[in-house]
Structure 1
Amino acid sequence: MKIEKNKIGLIILVLSMVHSINFWGQKSADQNHDKPNIIFILTDDQRFDALGYAGNELISTPEMDKLAKEGTYFKNAMVTTPICAASRASILTGLYERSHNYNFSTKKIRDVYMQNSYPKILKDNGYYTAFYGKYGVRYDGLKKQFNEFESYDRKDKYPDKRGYYYKTIGKDTVHLTRYTGQKAIDFIDSKNSSQPFCLSLSFSAPHAHDSAKDQYFWQDESDKLLKNTIIPPAKLSDDLYFKSQPDFVKSGFNRLRWRWRYDTPEKYQYSVKGYYRMISGIDREIKKIRKELKKKGLDKNTVIILMGDNGYFLGERQMAGKWLLYDNSLRVPLIVFDPRVKNQEDSKEMALNIDIAPTILDLAGIQIPQNWHGKSLMPVATKEQTSLKRDTVLFEHLWEFEHISPSEGVRTKEWKYFRYVNNMSFEELYHIKNDPQETKNLAKDPEFKSVLEKLRTKCNALINEKSDTYFNGPTALKVNITEAPQSIPEFQWQVPTKNFEQTSYQILLASSKKKLDQNIGDLWNSGQVIQKVAKAYKDGRIYLKDGQTYFWKVRVWDQENRFSKYSECQTIQLNGSK
């Protein structure tokens, strides 16, 4: 049989196309062969300077330091929300908490966001995905995201070291850090080069075991570390830094947990050493993981990303925990090590947790969703560019909890501004370029009024920009006034229409527009009232004066306990005009 040359070329082309595209529409092994493997390592509560490479001479982190030296270390990396649940949701989805609206008080995260999470997108595009450790987000669809996984964390039912020692390897009960490291090693050992993988590891350490008296539990190998060392006192630990806080901060969880961990010299020494020792345990596992990569011949094509899920107070301002919008809470270590890139350099750019998902997709050669808020860090890591072109970033902690006041703010390379959501008269402004410890609040200094107003306006603008339609507030506000015998207002509204079922509400009634804008209900703050009906009377009588103008607004919670924005301001006058 004779076949003409042009037909031979056509046949070869068709065969090539058939080989590269399978019937499921996914990329073939050949197309994926040159894609890098990705290991994303997340630590729990590791703050920015809990790293030898960051200049900490007390902690032992030789393997993390090696990654930082060989890779791109982001000196000014931060999280957008300084708490694990919301931060982890942001890492998975590339979205601000303002948008995904997930935190400890809500139920499950919306599936629409997780369908667009980085592991789901990777899995749908030919990557083999795996997860081991603390997932930290209420979601039942891990099978949609990962080819294989095991989700686990500390067990609070054990108020002692068993909270960290309940997993076994063979017959031996081991620390969760060792267990997570071994799961990674076993995973790598099972891999071949036919399909790229993304392994997401989430260590529970160095999170304190809150239910235990001793708080910190580390592996025996760390006992010798810092044994004969005296940890210097925490910075800003004088009484004046604590006393400068609002009362609702001074009486909150930051102070309570300071008493658990740092309120005596003995507790302070034990806790800080324990915290550092637990991080050293993670470091040892990273060394084993990298050794296994080399053994399998995967080290030259495996990108490793390391990050902390939020910062941490180690006694500064006589505080513990995170949550607040000081740098202690916000700043974290972040390293991107790509073995294919030679001579990677440190960066001063403001890298964020919402940048992790875009960075991973960029590495995989997958288009980044347009609705994501983060940016890929790879152009900086590969030295294609030196800037992320990011002049201002939004920070927020929106969990409505009586012991931790929600807050929001913005930061530039030179300034930081933040305020407390439920009483915006408490504002803080720091010239962090000259005051990196955030010791001098300039919010009430007339000289910096224009800076304050500019950042306040920018904060409001970014909040609106990063919110989505699920977050919309009630509309069609209306007030009816009864006169029997005193004026009693009946408040009515319409709930947001996008799949929103009201379960509760909060009304603020104020004597001035300024107070209402600051979320101060000086005449009535209903608090969160459980009620499905979109109307409410004041419980008791409000004595309104004839001809006086009053101001009110309302927000509502849905069936998953996610709250909306406040409505627009509505005015009330006793004479009937509204």
Structure 2
Amino acid sequence: MRYSWILLLMVFGLISCQNERQEIAKPNIIIIISDDHTQQAISAYGSKLTQTPNIDRIANEGVLFNKAYVNNSICGPSRAALLTGKYSHKNGYRDNENSSYDSSQDQFVNHLQKAGYQTAWIGKYHLGEDPKGFDYWEILPGQGHYYNPDFIQMDGSRVRKEGYVSNLIEDAAESWLDSRDQDQPFLLILGHKATHRTWMPDLDDLDMFDEVEFPLPDNFYDDYQNREAARVQDMSIAHSMQMAYDLKMYPEDTKDGNVTRMTADQRERFDGYYKPIQKALNEAGLEGDALTEWKFQRYMRDYLATAASMDRNIGRLLDYLDNHALSENTIVIYLSDQGFYLGEHGWFDKRFMYEESFRTPMMMRYPRVIAPGTVSEDFVMNLDIGPTMLQAAGLEIPKDMDGKSFLPVLTDPKAEGREAVYYHYYENGEHAVSPHFGVRTDRYKLIRFYKRVEEWELYDLGNDPQELNNLLGNEEYAEVHREMYSKLMKVIEKYRDEEAKTIAEHPLNGDLNLRKK
């Protein structure tokens, strides 16, 4: 009898130890980064344009961030901020035109790697061709291609894989997950090419939205009154979107590499879909607004079908986690590298600090920590992801990171989030968007444009969510202007952005004695 009690105590002790190990097990981490996807195209955010059931599943089973923003609304700089937890002026990657990324600098992935995590990046990287901090990587060169893309291997070789890029990225991800050491935690970053220009869906999805007539955004024919930077841009559907490159209305002898790399069977199906559309367009002889609105409909159909092709593969990944008993101990984050315009202001593309571009979709599933169906109204940023993952893994967050973990605001009702978010965009070439920086609070936004256009803009987002009415110089908002200027200077000082400080201190017409209290 005595021995039975001893045996029973040993069994309970063993179970207790197992439970303790399970409780302290470091979570696996999967970060899915799409390209140019936007909240307006995600049904979890209330979009009526499309359904994204698999992306929605992450939000439904975790937290949906309604106020997620980026530091710099362009592909490479956004990824650099995610990896380093730092603003562009600190990590050195300010734009895609003149910057090069130093992959040997401190990144959150290096800390996970040192702590025993197996780390991998698969898909679009867009920060050069020498990722560091990863035990395994397989990346697209530059933007990559939608059909039969090349992948750069760790030995520097390039392998062309036949198929559609979103499917191939998911295939490679599952292959790596199959081969990993199952006794160690892992971090996997998937970089999807979708939904980057030129918006090419998988062949099975080409006609998905053919019967849908999309409503024009209310501000589609924006006149940009009192907004000079918006007026001089070159990203309008009417004038900047290209019939061949963007909308697949190719001449017979096209040399466009997006289609010449297709197999004969792929090209036959592709042409079989687009050539009748092109023939009908030529016969219609559209001009002016009618042609612009035709371009909008084609753009929306291709963009949303491309997103659907990606969403299906995100579902494959979630199913893989379920089927391999990984879901309960794996954090899954979905975000885009920034937002995108779906005809708002008459535009496609991104770059501006206006909401559609500055704001990014983001959601996170973290079983046993984040309750399903959580909705966060706190400001979070792409550069917060690294610190958050380090905290989740029980690791110290480097003090020089600008980002901060958002786990406290999700788990502690008394925790305080950001009062404001800071933004700085540097590029001064593509799409003629003027460099600018600014600050956003719950209600107001102040922007300072420079170089191409020298001006301030002030918006009351409570009364003007579409940002059509620049309030700079409006005496009724003089005090708001001064308060927002003070907040801007505080965040500039906090993040030590000396270039912005010098520019912001330079007076312009309409500054309304900003330094007066």
Give the TM interval when normalised to the shorter protein.
0.7 to 0.9
1:420-569 alignment, distance < 5 Å: 420-422=449-451, 425-467=454-496, 517-518=507-508
Structure 1 residues 63, 171: closer, same or farther in 2, change over 3 A? same
Structure 1 residues 306, 388: closer, same or farther in 2, change over 3 A? farther
1:59-78 alignment, distance < 5 Å: 59-78=50-69
Deviates more, 1:98-107 or 1:391-400: 98-107
Quote the Cα distance in structure 2 between the aligned partners of 1:266 and 1:307: 30
Question: Could you tell me how far 1:31 is from its partner in structure 2?
Answer: 10
Aligned partners of 1:32 and 1:195 also within 8 Å: no
Quote the Cα distance in structure 2 between the aligned partners of 1:453 and 1:137: 38
Residue 417 of structure 2 is aligned to residue 389 of structure 1: yes
Quote the Cα distance in structure 1 between the aligned partners of 2:136 and 2:163: 22
Report which of the two has the higher share of helix. Answer: 2
Identify the residue that residue 255 of structure 2 maps to in structure 1.
none
1:255-404 alignment, distance < 5 Å: 255=236, 257-258=240-241, 264-341=292-369, 343-344=371-372, 345-381=374-410, 383-385=411-413, 387-401=415-429, 403-404=432-433
1:47-62 alignment, distance < 5 Å: 47-62=38-53
Quote the Cα distance in structure 1 between the aligned partners of 2:57 and 2:22: 32
Quote the Cα distance in structure 1 between the aligned partners of 2:196 and 2:25: 37
Identify the residue that residue 100 of structure 2 maps to in structure 1.
108
> What CA deviation, in whole Å up to 9, does each residue of 1:185-221 have, x standing for no partner?
1122223531000000110100013xxxxxx210123
**Which of 159, 173, 178 is the matching residue for 1:184?**
173
Aligned partners of 1:59 and 1:277 also within 8 Å: no
Residue 180 of structure 2 is aligned to residue 151 of structure 1: no
Residue 457 of structure 2 aligns to a residue whose secondary structure is strand
Aligned partners of 2:200 and 2:306 also within 8 Å: yes
Structure 1 residues 165, 378: closer, same or farther in 2, change over 3 A? same
**Which of 184, 189, 192 is the matching residue for 1:203?**
192
Identify the residue that residue 253 of structure 1 maps to in structure 2.
234
Amino acid at match of 1:149: W
Aligned partners of 2:82 and 2:385 also within 8 Å: yes
Quote the Cα distance in structure 2 between the aligned partners of 1:387 and 1:431: 27
Question: Could you tell me how far 1:379 is from its partner in structure 2?
Answer: 2.3
Quote the Cα distance in structure 2 between the aligned partners of 1:289 and 1:282: 11
Aligned partners of 2:125 and 2:142 also within 8 Å: no
Identify the residue that residue 235 of structure 1 maps to in structure 2.
218
> What CA deviation, in whole Å up to 9, does each residue of 1:27-63 have, x standing for no partner?
xxx8998111000000100112221111112212111
> What CA deviation, in whole Å up to 9, does each residue of 1:472-494 have, x standing for no partner?
999xxxxxxxxxxxxxxxxxxxx
Structure 1 residues 422, 171: closer, same or farther in 2, change over 3 A? closer
Question: Could you tell me how far 1:439 is from its partner in structure 2?
Answer: 2.2
Structure 1 residues 31, 117: closer, same or farther in 2, change over 3 A? farther
Q: Matched residue pairs, number? A: 432
Identify the residue that residue 37 of structure 1 maps to in structure 2.
28
Residue 392 of structure 2 aligns to a residue whose secondary structure is helix
Amino acid at match of 1:266: W
> What CA deviation, in whole Å up to 9, does each residue of 1:397-447 have, x standing for no partner?
022437221011100011111120227752211111232222222112101
Amino acid at match of 2:146: Y
Quote the Cα distance in structure 1 between the aligned partners of 2:49 and 2:43: 8
Quote the Cα distance in structure 1 between the aligned partners of 2:370 and 2:79: 30
> What CA deviation, in whole Å up to 9, does each residue of 1:432-477 have, x standing for no partner?
12322222221121010111122123223322321368x7999xxx
Over the aligned positions, Cα root-mean-square deviation in angstroms equals: 2.9
Aligned partners of 2:217 and 2:344 also within 8 Å: yes
Amino acid at match of 1:145: G
Structure 1 residues 243, 258: closer, same or farther in 2, change over 3 A? farther
> What CA deviation, in whole Å up to 9, does each residue of 1:171-196 have, x standing for no partner?
97211111111111112222353100
Of all paired residues, the percent bearing the same amino acid is: 29
Residue 346 of structure 1 aligns to a residue whose secondary structure is strand
Aligned partners of 2:338 and 2:358 also within 8 Å: yes
Quote the Cα distance in structure 2 between the aligned partners of 1:422 and 1:455: 22
Residue 41 of structure 2 aligns to a residue whose secondary structure is coil
- Relative to the length of structure 1, the TM-score reads 0.69
- Relative to the length of structure 2, the TM-score reads 0.77
Amino acid at match of 1:257: S
Identify the residue that residue 18 of structure 1 maps to in structure 2.
none
Question: What are the ranges of 5 or more consecutive residues in structure 1 without an aligned counterpart?
Answer: 1-29, 157-162, 210-215, 475-507, 520-578
Residue 164 of structure 1 aligns to a residue whose secondary structure is coil
> Bigger radius of gyration, 1 or 2?
1
Aligned partners of 1:75 and 1:348 also within 8 Å: yes
Residue 69 of structure 2 aligns to a residue whose secondary structure is coil
Structure 1 residues 386, 206: closer, same or farther in 2, change over 3 A? farther
Identify the residue that residue 565 of structure 1 maps to in structure 2.
none
Quote the Cα distance in structure 1 between the aligned partners of 2:484 and 2:497: 22
> What CA deviation, in whole Å up to 9, does each residue of 1:232-283 have, x standing for no partner?
112311242x35431x543433235356669622211111121111111111
Amino acid at match of 1:180: I
Identify the residue that residue 156 of structure 2 maps to in structure 1.
none
Aligned partners of 1:177 and 1:203 also within 8 Å: yes
Identify the residue that residue 166 of structure 1 maps to in structure 2.
148
Quote the Cα distance in structure 1 between the aligned partners of 2:331 and 2:195: 24
Amino acid at match of 1:463: I
Deviates more, 1:58-67 or 1:338-347: 338-347
Quote the Cα distance in structure 1 between the aligned partners of 2:312 and 2:220: 32
Residue 145 of structure 1 aligns to a residue whose secondary structure is coil
> What CA deviation, in whole Å up to 9, does each residue of 1:76-110 have, x standing for no partner?
11112111111111111111123223122334234
Quote the Cα distance in structure 2 between the aligned partners of 1:182 and 1:430: 45
Aligned partners of 2:92 and 2:100 also within 8 Å: no
> What CA deviation, in whole Å up to 9, does each residue of 1:324-381 have, x standing for no partner?
1100111111101012236341111111111111111111111111111111122233
Amino acid at match of 2:76: A
Q: Which has the higher contact order (CA 8 A, sep 6+)?
A: 2
Question: What are the ranges of 5 or more consecutive residues in structure 2 without an aligned counterpart?
Answer: 1-20, 152-158, 248-290, 510-517
